[in-house]
Amino acid sequence: MEIYLYIALFAPLVGSLIAGIFGASKKLLFTGIVTSSLLALSFFSSIVLLVHLLGGGDEIHVEMMTWIAAGELYIPFGFLVDEISATMMMVVTLVSTLVHIYSIGYMKHDAGFNRFFSYLSAFVFSMMVLVMSDNFAGLFIGWEGVGLCSWLLIGFWYKKDIATWSANEAFIMNRIADLGMLIGIFLIYWNTGSLQYDTVFAAAPSLDETILVLIALFLFIGAMGKSAQFPLHTWLADAMEGPTPVSALIHAATMVTAGVYLVVRAHPIYELTPDVSYFIACVGAFVAIFAASMALVNRDIKRIIAYSTLSQLGYMFVAAGLGAYWVALFHLMAHAFFKALLFLGAGNVMHAMRDELDPYKMGGLFKVMKYTAILMIIASVALAGIFPLAGFFSKDKILEVAFGSENYILWGVLWVSAGLTAFYSFRLIMLTFFSDSRYKKLGFDPHEAYPYMLWAMAPLALLAIIAGWFEHQFVEFVTQALPMFTFNVADVVWMLIVVTTLIALGGIALAIWTYRDGPLDPKWERNPIHKLLINEYYIPAAYERCISRPYRELSAFFWKEVDLKVVDYTVDLIASMVYGSGKKTHTMQNGNLSSMLGWVAAGAVLLLLAVIFSSGIQVAG
């Protein structure tokens, strides 16, 4: 089985290197085909490993080589395939393979075609390192790898200032969070003497409670950055400046799911720190409704879907924070399928509308993009949590967890968020595909995507429909590595299902009725609540005024007053003194015998004086 582990891990890297060789060359279609094929090979190997575990096989643990061996510190390049990592490997490689195939059509006319596929495959490789490592150091290497690749991909169109700005924002905000994660990893090593998962988790119960709380908090700070939890959330919507397949990959299978994976993987630590776990659940519930509210009014189809991801990540953290780690992982898996489908559908719409993102300028696209519309409707129904699609099973399970653990406030927040989710999802559908064809007045001539792009989306649509049906098999599988969270809602389970379904259906019905004739009258957008939501609660503006602007001004001050007037002046003064002394003394080597004899005599006098002076000191002593 080890050979399949190595294939699953390194096939994306090989694809990235092959595409990178031709990175500066003209577009070569075979780079897209080769990288997609290698991703498919990685997916096949991941499935083989998953089937091995499903069949009762032992977890696979390999130590490829020694990485760091210094004193008592020993960190190998070790990889682990257990029920948690096998689930993540399947999700990552499946979604990534389909996104790669889709990208061949999406990036077909882009001059950076080869470079794009090199970055995209490197992104997948980094995520595989993250989820397959058997220690925190290896996880951190993959963690930083996805951060680097996200910077390259968000800023892929680097000639656009907004793209490079968004890439830098994501990179810098994640570096801030990663400092917290590094502190957590250092605390783990200082208190356990190891970074290996099995050793650390075995030692965790014997650690001081304060140390455990600090470790849990600092690790979660890292997760907050990667999974864009408040207050480190603003980069996620701005990251939409990258190509749409990148958005699909970031939101469905790679970067933002890494934070949830970290909490799930480190569950033995979080089980020992219930206060930190409850804090995680509260942050998740806040983010769920916070992000959903911003999606209600946004006029950018990709940003609406991005806020949806942010909201659903909140749901996952609620489940993980309440101890239902398998439920969080279940929703992560189901969400990956319909969220990737939504983003790829948005990519089809963008191509058809010459990169237009405002649904107010669309409408009536169902007539010309029927297949894309159907696929996005399936994804939106799954996102809204309507039976029998995947979201019904995974998202509603989180609501049951909240209610069953008697966290009624969290349940209420998530319940309201479910209604908002249904509303903004179908607001997007109605404004884009139905009502009047507003695009005609603006001169657009939309068309359906290439057939193979639609075929790449089809498996995601199928999984968005049926993934939830395998809940019981999923529970039996992952609870071999995760605790079986128990909660009793048997007496009210049907009531919970009914009220959750009713608010979701109500949100859908309200969106259809509200936007049946197209956008609302502009007067509705002049109220204070709309302005608050469209400006993201003025949080980006507050960051700009309180952090970014003062930092720029402080940097400008130090540049002008310290760097130029002190540092540069000092360096220039030393240089000028050296140059001046050299200029004045170069006459020593002018070749004139009389002049050179004079210098010899002067040197002899100086040496004689030095001898006399040192002798006088010795006599006096």
Asked if omega into 446 is within 30° of 0 (cis), the reply is no
Strand partners, 80: 61
pLDDT value of residue 95:
95
Answer whether 35's CB lies under 8 Å from 18's CB.
Answer: yes
pLDDT value of residue 618:
64
**Dihedral over Cα of 199, 201, 207, 212: its sign:** positive
Give, in order, the Cα–Cα distances in Å from 78 to each of 13, 65, 176, 267. Answer: 17, 7, 27, 20
447 vs 467: CA distance, rounded Å: 30
Strand partners, 473: none
Give, in order, the Cα–Cα distances in Å from 205 to each of 72, 202, 264, 272, 352. Answer: 22, 7, 17, 7, 57
pLDDT value of residue 346:
94
The secondary structure of 355-369 as a DSSP string is T---GGG---GGGT-
Q: Which residues, in sequence order, are CB contacts of 66 under 8 Å at separation 6+?
A: 74, 76, 77
pLDDT value of residue 621:
56
Burial class (CB in 10 A: 0-12, 13-18, 19+), 398: buried
Run means of pLDDT, 10 residues per run, the chain, 621 residues: 92 94 76 93 96 91 86 86 94 95 90 92 95 94 94 92 93 93 95 92 93 96 93 91 91 89 95 95 96 93 94 95 94 94 94 90 91 95 94 92 92 96 95 88 87 94 94 92 82 88 95 90 83 92 91 90 88 88 71 74 86 72 56
Mean pLDDT (the chain, rounded): 91
98 vs 325: CA distance, rounded Å: 27
Strand partners, 353: none
Measured torsion, CA atoms of residues 261, 267, 268, 269, in degrees rounded to the nearest 10:
90
259 vs 364: CA distance, rounded Å: 38
Q: Tens of pLDDT along 480-537? A: 999 988 777 777 888 989 999 999 999 999 999 999 988 888 887 788 898 999 999 9
230 vs 286: CA distance, rounded Å: 8
Q: Phi, psi at residue 64, to the nearest 5°? A: -70, -45
pLDDT value of residue 17:
94
pLDDT value of residue 120:
95
- Alpha helices (runs of H) in 193-273, residue ranges in sequence order: 197-203, 209-226, 234-238, 244-252, 257-265, 267-271
pLDDT value of residue 333:
94
Q: Which residues, in sequence order, are CB contacts of 182 under 8 Å at separation 6+?
A: 140, 222
Strand partners, 133: 79
